[in-house]
Structure 1
Amino acid sequence: MSMDFPYIGSLTVYLTAGLILVYYANQVSRAWRKNPTTLPYPPGPRPLPIIGNIRQIPTTFPWLTYREWGRQYGPMIHFRAYNDHLIIVNSAKIADDLFEKRSRIYSDRPDYPMLNLMGWEFNFAFMRYGDNWRQHRRLMHQFLRLAAVPAYHPVQVKKSHDLLRIFLSHPKDFYVHLQTYAAAIIMATVYGYDIAPVGDPFVSLAQDAMHRMGQGTIPAAIPVNMFPWLRHFPGWLPGFGFQQFCADTRLITAKMRDEPYEFAKKQLIEEHDSTSMVAKMIESGKTEVQLQKDVAGLAYGAGADTTFATMASFVLLMATHPEVQKKAQAEIDAVLGSHRLPEFSDKAQLPYVEALCREVLRWMPLVPLSPSRKTTEDDIYEGYFIPKGTSIVPNLWAMCQDEAIYPEPEKFKPERFLTEDGRVTTDPLLNPLAFGHGRRSCVGRHLAEDSVWIAMASLLTVYNFGKAKDASGNEIEIPFQFSDGLIIHSEPFECSITPRSEIAIALIEGTAEKNG
C-alpha cells in the first residue's frame, strides 16, 4: 500500500532555497571579510558559483590566453579558482610598481604541496618568503653576484670554444650541442665537472628532475596544489597515481643534489681543485652541507635549461633574419678583425651584439609566466582592491609583446635596445624582463647573460646561419613552434650552419690547441 506525501515536494523546494540562501550569505560574508572596502577587484571574466573561473583557466600555453584576456579586461586581470583570488599582470609598469616599489607585500609565494611531495622543497625560487628563503638566496648570491661572475669567464670561454668545434664537425646536431653547452657551463662552474658530450649521467638526472618539477608548479593543472588534503590519500586509489610519480621524482631529485656534490667534494680532497662553486662553499666552512647541496642543485636546474632555450632561439632567429646576422657580423669584424675570437673585454665595443642578445630574450622570454607571488596583506592599487593571500602572476610574455613599449613586437629588431647614437639603452623599461622583478629576480642573471653573450658573439664571428635546403635546392622553411611548460624553447628544427671562411675554420680549429 503506497502513501502520498504531497508536502514533500514543497519541503524540498524550501530546503533547497534555504541552502542556496545560506550559501550566498556565506559567500557575501566571506567576500566582505576579504574586501572590507567598497572598491572593486580588478576586472576579469565572470566567475561561476562555487568553482569561480576554474573551467576558464588555461592549462596549455596559458600566457597566450592571459594576453588575450588583457586586450579585453586591461593590464591587470582578476579571477577566482574556488575561493582563491588570482591576478594576472600583463604590464611591465604595474609589475615594477608592485614587485619593486611594494616588494614588502609582493615577495611571498603560494604553497606548492606538489613540489614538496616531489622532493623540491629546497627550491628557494618557490619557497615562502622568510628566513629559510633568505639563507638560500644569500648563499647563491655570494657566488653569482655581478662581482663574482668574472671568475667563471675562463670556463665560459673554454666551453664556447668547445661549442665552435663541435658545430664544425657535426652541424646538423646543433640542437643537442646547445643543450650540452648549457649543461657544461653550469656543471663546470658549480661542481668543477666536465660532462660527457652525449648521455652524461649527471645531466640526464638533472634534466629528468627539472622536467618533473615543471609539472608540479601549475596550480590549475595539479589538483594537489589546490586541495592539499589530497596528498593524504593512498596511491592505489583511482585518480591518485600522482603519489607514485612523486615518490619516483623524490628519488631522482635527491640523486641530482647528492651525486654531483659528492664528486666536487672528492675533487677538492684528492686533487685540491677549489675553482668550483661547491669547492669554495666547502672550503669556507660557513654553511651546512645540506644548504650547500640545495643551492648547488638549484643553480644547475635554473641555469642549464634557460641558457639552452636562449641559444636555441638565437640560432632560429639568425637563420631567419640574415640582415640582422650580417649587421652583427659587421660590427664584430670591425672590432676584432678576422684573426681572433671575441673575449669578454670586447663586450663594451659590441653594442649591437649586446642589443641582439637582449632582443632574443625579449622576443622569446624563457619563462613566459613568472612563478606566482602571494600578497602578505591587503593592498589597493589604482583604485582596485587586492586582498591578502592573492596569487599574483607576472605574464612576462605579454610584457615583452607590449606594443606601447616595443612597437611591432612580433618583429625581431635589436635596434630597439639602442639609442640614436648606437649605444645600449639605459631605459629601465627596456631592461630584459626575462629575469623577473624585485626580491624574486633571478640570482644567476649575470652568469646566464655572460654565457649566452660569449656563445652568441663567438658563433657569429665564425659561422653563417641560414635555412637548410632540400634535394632540389629549395629552402626549407623553419616552423616557429615552441614547447609548453615552465621554461619554453623552440622545438627541434633544421637549418644551415657553415663556416664564414677558411680563416674562420682556422680560428675554430685553433681553439683545440689553445684550450689544451
Structure 2
Amino acid sequence: MALSVHSILGQYAIGHPVVATLVTIAFLMGTTFLTIREIFKPAGKRGAPKGPKGIPIFGSLLDLKSARHDPDHKMIRDLARYGEMTTVHLGSKTWIFLNNKRVVAEIIAKRGSITNGRSPMPVASGIVSRYGRSLLLPPSGWTEKRRVMHSLLSGTALKQYAGWQELESTQLLAEYLNYPKLWYRHHYRYANSVVHRIALGERLVKTGKELADLQDVVTYFVGSIGSSLVDWFPELDALPRFLQLWRKHWEKLGNWNYEVYRSWWDPVRQQIDAGIAPPSFVRDVLLHESTKFTGDDQEAMYVAMQLIEAGSDTTREALNIFVMAALCHPEVYQKARKEVDRICASDSEDIRLPSIMDMEQMPYICALIKEVLRWRPIFPLTPDHVLTTDMEFEGYHFPPGVGFVINGIPVCKDCEEPDAFKPERWLDGHETDVAHDLWQFGGGRRICVGYRLAQRGLFINIARLVMCYDYSAAGPYDSRRLNHHRTDEPFPVNVKIRSEEHARLITEEATRAGVLEAVMGLNNV
C-alpha cells in the first residue's frame, strides 16, 4: 500500500532532524510574518492611486522618517510625480497625498463632512497630550472644542482683538527702533503677547524661562508626532501595559507638558473664580456659563493653551519669511510701500501708522501676505483628514480609515511661475480672504479656527514694517533656509529706520499707547 504524504514526511523528519527543525522554524516565521502583515494591513490597499511600493509591513515609513529632517523636502516633492494623488502606506495607515489645489478643494473642502476625521495617535495625541489637543482628535473628541473655539472667527471677536493686535504691533515697531539687531525676537514677542492677551486676558509678563518652556512644549509636541512606531501601528496600544515599554519615556514628556500648562493656566483660573479676571477668550467664552462647555477643567486648559501654542509660533515664522522676501525681492517691497504711503502718508504733515481698518484699501499688502505663505510654506504637510465613511471619487473607492494629506510643497507650486515671488497672482478679488485658494491653514471643517485673526496680525505688522523700515542682507544667506528652529538670528539682516520722521512717529505712538517704558527696559536686550 502506498504511504501517505504525511507518513513520508514523518519518516524523513526522523532521519533528518536538523532539516526538519529548520523547516519548522521557517514555517513558523512565515506564519508569524503573514499574521503580523494581516494585523497591520493598511486600509484601502486595493484600487488606490499609484504610489511607492515601500517594504512589507512598514511601507514607506522609514523614508518618511528620513524626510522629516530634509530641508529641501525631496521625498514629498517626488510624490507629486505619481499624479494628482499618491498612495503611501505608512505602517498600518494609508495616506493619500493630495498634490494639487483641485483635488484638495474636491476632497478636503467639498467633502469635508466625511473627511474630518483623524487617525489614532496613541503617543502624540494620547500620552503626550492627554487627548487634550483637538488638532489630533477624531470628531468625537474634537467637535465640542471646535464649537467653543469657533467664536474666534466671529466679527465681534475680531473687532475686540484688533485693538490688542495694534497695541502689540506698536510695541514691536518701537522694539525694532531701539533693538534692530533683535528683529527676530520681536516677532516672537509680538506673536506670543497677542495670543496670550486674547486667550488669557493679560499682557504678557512671563519670565524668559517660562517663555522658553512654552516654546519647548511646542517643539517637543510637534517632534512627538509620528516619532513613535506606536503612532503608525496604533494596534500596539492594545497590548498589556507591562509590554508597552515605550510608555515611560513619553509619559515623562506628557507630565512635563502638563505642568508647564498648569503654571500658565492656574493663575488665570483663580482670577476668574475670584471675579477679578480681565476680558479674555477664557473668561468670556470658554468658561462663561452661557457657552455651556461640557469639558472638565483639564480639557478647558488644553483648549486655551493650544491656542497660545498655535497662534504664537506660526505668526513668528510668517514674519520671518516676510523679512526673507524683503531681502530677495526689494522691488516687491517698494511696490508694497507705495500702496501703504498712498493711504497713510499722502499728506506729509498728516502721516500715520496703518491700522487694521485699512485692510480693504490695501489689496497689495493682503496679496503679499498670501504670497509669503505660498512662497515658503510653513507646513509642508497637514495632519491627515481621515474618511469616516466610504467615498467614491473619480473612479476610486476609498474605505473608512483612509487619510488624505495636503501635500503643501507641490500644492503651493500649483500655479504659473511657481518659483517667482509675485503677490500679483493673488489680486483676484479675494485678497482679504487669506484662506481662499491657499491651503496653509488647512481646509474643510478642520481649517485653523484662528486664520482670520492670524491674517489681521500679519497685515498690521507687515503694513507697518513696510512703511517704516528697510531691510538689507548682513551676510550670505540661502532663501530656502529659514532656520525657524534657531533661537539666535536665523539669517543675517540689517534693519534700518526709514527716516527720522518715521522714528518720531513710532516713538509718539508707543508713548501714546503706553508701551515705550516696556520697550526701553533691559528685558528686551
Calculate the TM-score normalised by the size of structure 1: 0.84
State the shift of 1:396 in Å.
Answer: 1.8
Q: Which moved more, 1:132-141 or 1:143-152?
A: 143-152
Alignment of 1:446 onto 2:444: no
SS in 2 for 1:340: coil
The Cα of 1:32 is off from its aligned counterpart by 12
Q: 1:104 aligns with which of 113, 134, 145?
A: 113
Residue of structure 2 equivalent to 1:431: 437
1:56 maps to 63
In 2: Cα distance, 1:290 partner to 1:32 partner = 34
Equivalents in 2 of 1:340, 1:206: separation in Å?
35
Aligned to 1:481: 481
Write the deviation string for residues 376-428 of structure 1: whole angstroms up to 9, x where unpaired: 233332222323212322212221112xxx21212211111014xxx555999
Aligned counterparts of 2:435 and 2:467: Cα–Cα separation in 1: 30
Q: Give the CA deviation at 1:200.
A: 5.6
Secondary structure, counterpart of 2:87 in structure 1 = strand
Q: In the alignment, does 2:379 pair up with 1:367?
A: yes
Compared CA separation, residues 392 and 445, structure 1 to 2 (3 A): same
Which residue number corresponds to residue 214 of structure 2? Answer: 206
Q: CA deviation digits over 1:30-73, x for unaligned, max 9?
A: 989967xxx72110112433443334334325782444333431
CA contact (8 A) 1:478 1:495 kept: no
Q: Pick from 407, 424, 448: which aligns with 1:415? A: 424
Contact 1:163–1:177 (8 Å) recurs in 2: yes
Using the TM superposition, give the Cα deviation of residue 361 of structure 1 relative to its aligned residue in structure 2, in angstroms: 1.1
8 Å CA contact 1:479, 1:493 repeated in 2:
no
> Match for residue 320 of structure 1?
328
8 Å Cα contact 1:52/1:81 also seen in 2:
yes
Give 2:94's match in structure 1, choosing from 85, 91, 105.
85
Higher helix share: 2
- Any conservation in 2 of the 1:256–1:297 contact (CA below 8 Å)? no
Cα offsets for 1:430-485 (capped at 9, x unmatched)? 532111110110011111111111111111111111112xxxxxx54455314589
AA partner of residue 163 (structure 2): P
Query: Does the C-alpha gap of structure 1 residues 332 and 444 become closer, same or farther in structure 2, counting only changes over 3 Å?
Result: same
SS in 2 for 1:57: helix
Displacement of 1:16: 4.5
The 5-angstrom pairing of residues 172-321 of structure 1 reads: 172-196=181-205, 199=208, 201=210, 203-218=211-226, 221-228=227-234, 229=236, 243-268=247-272, 272-281=276-285, 282-284=287-289, 286-287=292-293, 288-321=296-329
8 Å contact from structure 2 (residues 40, 57) kept in 1: no
> For residue 388 of structure 1, what is the amino acid of its counterpart?
P
2:42/2:93 contact within 8 Å kept: no
Distance 2:319 2:36 in 1: 53
The DSSP-based 3-state class of the residue aligned with 2:481 is coil
1:214 offset after TM fit, Å?
0.5
Instruction: Report the counterpart of residue 471 of structure 1 in structure 2.
Output: none
Establish whether residue 41 from structure 1 lines up as the match of residue 45 from structure 2: no
| Aligned match for 1:341, one of 337, 344, 353 | 353
**How many pairs were matched up?**
490
Relative to 1, partners in 2 of residues 1:490 and 1:172: Cα closer, same or farther, differing over 3 Å?
closer
The amino acid that maps onto 2:56 is P
Q: Is contact 2:435-2:451 (8 Å) kept? A: no
Q: 1:25 to 1:280 in 2, by over 3 A?
A: closer
- 1:123 and 2:133 correspond: yes
Cα distance between partner residues in 1 of 2:103 and 2:488: 29
Shift of 1:362: 1.0
Partner in structure 2 of residue 397 of structure 1: 409
How far apart are residue 98 of structure 1 and its match? 1.2
Aligned residue for 2:63, secondary structure, equals coil
Q: Indicate the larger mover: 261-270 or 87-96.
A: 261-270
**Which of 322, 337, 346 is equivalent to 1:329?**
337
Q: Could you report, residue by residue, the CA deviation over 1:239-258 in whole angstroms, capped at 9, with x for unpaired residues?
A: 95x54442332233223433
Is contact 2:43–2:92 with CA below 8 Å preserved after alignment? no
Counterpart residue number, 1:472: none
Q: 1:136 to 1:25 in 2, by over 3 A?
A: closer
Distance in 1 (alpha carbons) for counterparts of 2:39 and 2:223: 35
Query: How has the CA–CA distance of structure 1 residues 143 and 28 changed in structure 2, closer, same or farther, with 3 Å as cutoff?
Result: closer
Gaps of 5+ in 2: 1-12, 515-525
1:501 match: 499
Give the secondary-structure state (helix, strand or coil) at the position aligned to 2:496. strand
Q: CA deviation at 1:191?
A: 0.9
Match of 2:467 among 458, 461, 471: 461
**Structure 1: 5+ residue stretches without partners:** 469-474
Q: Which residue of 1 aligns with 2:15?
A: 5
Is contact 2:184-2:489 (8 Å) kept? no
For 1:383 and 1:426, the matched residues in 2 are separated by: 36
Give 1:495's aligned amino acid.
Answer: V
User: What SS does the aligned partner of 1:119 have?
Assistant: coil
Q: Distance in 2 between matches of 1:192 and 1:444?
A: 17
Q: 2:370 aligns with which of 346, 358, 362?
A: 358
Question: How far apart, CA to CA, are the structure 2 residues paired with 1:30 and 1:259?
Answer: 40
Structure 1 CA distance for aligned equivalents of residues 43 and 496 of structure 2: 65
Q: Aligned-pair RMSD on alpha carbons? A: 3.5
- CA change 1:370–1:13 in 2 (3 A) is same
Aligned to 2:8: none
In 1, Cα distance between the equivalents of 2:163 and 2:328?
31
> Please, which moves more after superposition, 353-362 or 283-292?
283-292
Identical positions, percent: 27
CA contact under 8 A between 1:191 and 1:264: conserved in structure 2? yes
Out of 370-379 and 265-274, give the one that drifted further.
265-274
SS of corresponding position for 2:208:
coil
